[in-house]
Amino acid sequence: MQRASPNDLDRVFKALGHVTRRRILQLLAQSPRYPYEISKLLDLNRRVVLKHLEALEEAGLVEHETGESDLGPDRTYYRLSVSFGLSTTILPNSFMIRVTRARPETTEPAARAVRPRADVRAVKALLTELNRINERIAKLDEERVRLAEVRGQIIREIEAIMRACDWDDESCMRV
């Protein structure tokens, strides 16, 4: 999703509209995987998984590449092809879709902060940090919704004033 056009967003929303595709994306967010592995993890038929992977690929969310296998012929691995956040706000007088692209340095695995020797203290520290980040994200989401409500109220007031003044298009453009 280099540049989000309405058609791109429609394809993304359609792809995200199926619970199995969202579960596949969850797995691919962890690491690249091949279809058989996904089918086993999700307890689904391999053909079903391939159909969903095809839909995700058409939406531009995943891509595939061939990788070597120690056990037999080369495997086709699927991985995420994008890094972005997508939020939708639906409130009275406010409907917004926001696409936020991840900066390249934020797409690297967070595990780089972990020392090579993973121990209980390191895991506890990372879990504490994860909890702190989750709480901050929740607060930001609440603030985003609150601001969207205020935005909707402001737009409603502007429209009411413009209707009361019976402005024509030219008057509106001057403002």
Considering the domain boundaries, does residue 161 fall inside one? yes
- What's the pLDDT band for 142 if we cut at 50, 70, 90? confident
Q: Based on the domain organization, do 56 and 113 belong to the same domain?
A: no
Per the structure, the complete domain to which residue 134 belongs is given by 109-170
- What's the pLDDT band for 107 if we cut at 50, 70, 90? very low
Q: Based on the domain organization, do 57 and 118 belong to the same domain?
A: no
pLDDT value for 148: 86
Considering the domain boundaries, does residue 19 fall inside one? yes
Considering the domain boundaries, does residue 1 fall inside one? no
| Position 41 pLDDT exceeds 60 | yes
Percent of the chain with pLDDT over 90: 35
| Position 101 pLDDT exceeds 80 | no
**Domain termination site, one of 65, 80, 95:** 80
Q: Based on the domain organization, do 69 and 24 belong to the same domain?
A: yes
To 5 degrees, how large is the angle CA 29–CA 13–CA 15? 60
Q: Are 2 and 48 in contact (CB under 8 A)?
A: no
How many structural domains comprise the chain? 2
Q: Based on the domain organization, do 76 and 12 belong to the same domain?
A: yes
pLDDT value for 121: 86
Q: Based on the domain organization, do 117 and 71 belong to the same domain?
A: no
Considering the domain boundaries, does residue 21 fall inside one? yes
**Domain termination site, one of 38, 60, 80:** 80
Q: CA nearest 99: which of 111, 112, 84, 114?
A: 84
Mean of pLDDT over the chain: 84
Nearest-10 crossing angle of helices 46-58, 19-30: 80
Average pLDDT over residues 109-117: 52
pLDDT value for 115: 53
Considering the domain boundaries, does residue 103 fall inside one? no
Average pLDDT over residues 1-6: 54
Q: CA nearest 27: which of 54, 6, 49, 11?
A: 49
pLDDT value for 118: 64
For residue 19, the domain's CATH number is: 1.10.10.10
| Position 90 pLDDT exceeds 90 | no
Considering the domain boundaries, does residue 86 fall inside one? no
Gap between the Cα atoms of 76 and 64, Å rounded: 6
Q: Based on the domain organization, do 126 and 166 belong to the same domain?
A: yes
What are residue 64's DSSP bridge partners? 78
pLDDT value for 117: 61
